[in-house]
Amino acid sequence: MKMDKSSLDAECCALNTVLVEEKKGHLIPNGSAHQGANGTLTISAATGAMSAAQKKQALPERETWTRQMDFMMSCVGFAVGLGNVWRFPYLCYKNGGGVFLIPYVLFIFLGGIPIFFLEIALGQFMKAGSINVWNIAPLFKGLGFASMVIVFFCNTYYIMVLAWGFYYFIKSLSSTLPWSSCDNPWNTENCIVNFRHNECHNGTIGNSTFGNRTCEELANGRSPIIEFWENKVLNISDGLDEPGVINWELLLCLMAVWVMVYFCVWKGVKSTGKIVYVTATFPYVVLIILLVRGVTLPGAYDGIMYYVKPDWSKLGEAQVWIDAGTQIFFSYAIGLGALTALGSYNRFNNDCYKDAFVLAFINSGTSFFSGFVVFSILGFMASEQGVDISKVAESGPGLAFIAYPKAISMMPMAPVWAALFFIMLLLLGLDSQFVGVEGFVTGILDLFPGKYYMRYKREIAVAICCLLCFIIDLSMVTQGGMYVFQLFDYYSASGMTLLWQAFWECVVVAWVYGADRFMDDIARMIGYRPFPWMKWCWSFITPCVCMGIFLFHLLNYKPLTYNNVYVYPWWGEVIGWCLALSSMLCIPVSVVYKLSAAKGTFRERWENLTKPVWGAHHLEYMAPDTDIKSLASLSPGTEENKVIIFESVM
């Protein structure tokens, strides 16, 4: 237990009786002499004392959410992002429609909720960001540094999607959408608006010409939306080794988005908690509007049936189960450390167990709901073009910047619907981005305790973080920027890195610190013990699931390509693996270094390095001799649970 020497003026083992009363199942200080006027704990020794003011000067109180709803909205904003809209619906369609929900829901309870709850509870219990939270087992503090590396890479490349979305939004503010015609400077002679698929397929026009083009030429044509994306937005070069020039329009969009992110984060959770009320809720309004519009279009029913129609034969394919498990880890934002940072701003007695289930339901519900929005529009587009929906179904940026904009261009009042869609896209990504930056900055600032106080410490830290990411992003607004973006996306925050991180989180908490011990700690916070299922998942089920999917990804590794045509050079793959290993190696390297640097036998080193380092708030709320299991037997409103007296040892 770390404390300032000044706090121990005399004997360090005096017993202090702390009177605590239970309110709604929580252990709350009752304002006795052991608590200062400002809410901080005053700890008395036999011949000396540390006042609340002195304690506050030594270590300032951590910020907390103004309202608990601020925390909920921030978690929704961070975890519910672009992947819910552009990845889940496509995976559901590809993997058997409604059948995909069976492995998906199963993995929610086997891996999603247990780790989601673990990260939030750990942050709330330790009152620290992604690095210092592992003071619970200091030997494995490399887990914190690994999550910081991953979230830094995410913050760096994820914002490019927002820059592209902002660019499309600006271009939508016109009477005619620029990607709806072939009359623009960036279009080529192969650009075709109407491909006449029906006529060519049915032999209606045979080998005759249509607009001076044969069916063979029509089949080899390029859509104006693809040319707008590749020739105008990306102005893409021939490969990673040809970076080319900077796209200045895209650079200005990138600067604008980073400025927005900075002013969302610079004042901390007090301001972030307010902004997410807009960024987290408005996308739902737009999704509902787009759904109402989508289901009224011709072909919408066929599109929705393609989305949900069950194909039971898919359940026997391993890839379906792997996709379901990987999607859970992506969409729940597990392993990034940001959930831990958000949880650290909770009140110590917040019921994070209930929050985890509510947030999981919102996250997965949004994913499923988004599928109806996406496939109603794609069904309309397939109907208009006379092709099967499999020809227009896309995932990722292909859906956001090619398929969906193309569908919108066929609708009446297209600019209005385009602007709505890209506002939704921008806000969906914006809160995920600035909460990710918040998590990174929280982890950095936690490394510098109160004695390193500086007036504008947070503002400067956020500015440095944003500026550093922006400098790296300059490589992604060049002609070869898309190749750099894919390197970051495929390797730095891939399924393998997140699964590796989640596996070690479960192992450390369940086997090093102790699953039963952590369940007791949670009971101290929320006033009751969670269902034992959580403990079983942390100890056995979730680590096995994580490692199983991790090995599947490793054994089925395929070199990175762009559009299934361009194959990355060997040195590009080396850079990618360096990005992946930069986070994955943090864990084993830090463990080996700490064990080798310590003194004593291996057993002594292990025991010393796995001994938790408690924070000041633990002195107030924790009691070694309290029987936490007895909390489960207390019934609200009885005499026995009104006042609990326990002793804390200093």
Per-residue DSSP letter, 97:
G
Answer CATH for 68-196+217-597 from 1.20.1740.10, 3.40.50.800, 3.40.50.10540, 1.10.490.10: 1.20.1740.10
Of residues 410 and 121, the one with the higher pLDDT is 121
Distance between CA atoms of 109 and 364, rounded to whole angstroms?
12
Q: Give residue 18's pLDDT.
A: 35
Which residue type sits at 119? E
Q: Are 470 and 258 in contact (CB under 8 A)?
A: yes
Residues paired with 41 in a beta bridge: 35
Per-residue DSSP letter, 619:
H
Q: Give residue 278's pLDDT.
A: 87
Percent helix, strand, coil in the chain (nearest 5)?
A: 65, 5, 30
pLDDT for 307-330, tens place per residue? 888 888 888 888 889 888 888 888
Reported as type and span, the H/E element at residue 646 is strand 643-649
Q: Are 286 and 420 in contact (CB under 8 A)?
A: yes
Nearest CA-CA partner of 513 in 502, 525, 523, 504: 504
Mean pLDDT of 211-239: 78
Q: What's the chain's average pLDDT?
A: 80
| pLDDT at residue 35 is higher than 60 | no
Q: Give residue 384's pLDDT.
A: 75
pLDDT for 39-89, tens place per residue? 333 333 333 334 444 444 445 567 788 888 989 998 998 888 888 888 888
597's CB contacts (< 8 A; 6+ apart) are none
**In b/e form, how buried is each residue of 150-170, taking b as 16+ CB within 10 angstroms?**
bbbbbbbbbbbbbbbbbbbbe
Per-residue DSSP letter, 614:
-
Q: Give residue 256's pLDDT.
A: 95
Q: Give residue 586's pLDDT.
A: 94
Distance between CA atoms of 284 and 266, rounded to whole angstroms?
26
Distance between CA atoms of 257 and 100, rounded to whole angstroms?
35
Nearest CA-CA partner of 73 in 249, 222, 209, 274: 274
Model confidence band, residue 596 (pLDDT cutoffs 50, 70, 90): very high
Binding residues for Na(+): 77, 79-80, 84, 331, 363, 428, 431-432
Distance between CA atoms of 339 and 344, rounded to whole angstroms?
9
Looking at the chain, the whole-number percentage of residues with pLDDT higher than 90 is 38
Q: Give residue 215's pLDDT.
A: 66
Helices (H), 220-346: 224-227, 248-265, 269-279, 282-295, 300-308, 318-331, 338-344
Distance between CA atoms of 77 and 408, rounded to whole angstroms?
26
| pLDDT at residue 513 is higher than 80 | yes
Mean pLDDT of 88-107: 87
Q: How many CB atoms sit inside 10 A of residue 314's CB?
A: 18
DSSP output for 325-345: HHHHHHHTTTTSSHHHHHHHT
| pLDDT at residue 447 is higher than 90 | no
Alpha-carbon distances, residue 145 vs 78, 465, 501, 525 (angstroms): 20, 16, 11, 26
Domain ranges of the chain: 68-196+217-597
Q: Between the ranges 92-96, 195-199, 495-499, where is the mean pLDDT highest?
A: 495-499
pLDDT for 402-417, tens place per residue? 878 888 888 888 899 9
Looking from the CA of 482 toward its CB, the CA atoms found within 13 Å total: 19
Of residues 100 and 63, the one with the higher pLDDT is 100
Distance between CA atoms of 158 and 211, rounded to whole angstroms?
42
Model confidence band, residue 354 (pLDDT cutoffs 50, 70, 90): very high
Distance between CA atoms of 307 and 309, rounded to whole angstroms?
6
Distance between CA atoms of 162 and 446, rounded to whole angstroms?
29
DSSP output for 507-531: HIIIIIIIHHHHHHHHHHHHSSPPP
CA dihedral 469, 474, 477, 481 (to 10 degrees): -90
| pLDDT at residue 581 is higher than 90 | yes
pTM of the complete model: 0.82
Binding residues: 77, 79-80, 84, 331, 363, 428, 431-432
Q: Which long-range contacts (CB under 8 A, 24 or more apart) does 543-549 make?
A: 543/503, 543/506, 543/507, 543/510, 545/107, 545/110, 545/111, 545/325, 546/111, 546/499, 546/500, 546/502, 546/503, 546/506, 547/499, 547/503, 549/322, 549/325, 549/326, 549/495, 549/499
Of residues 233 and 455, the one with the higher pLDDT is 233
Model confidence band, residue 188 (pLDDT cutoffs 50, 70, 90): confident
Write down how long the chain is. Answer: 650
Give the rounded distance of the alpha carbon of 44 from its chain centre.
43
Residues paired with 643 in a beta bridge: 21
Reported as type and span, the H/E element at residue 26 is strand 26-29
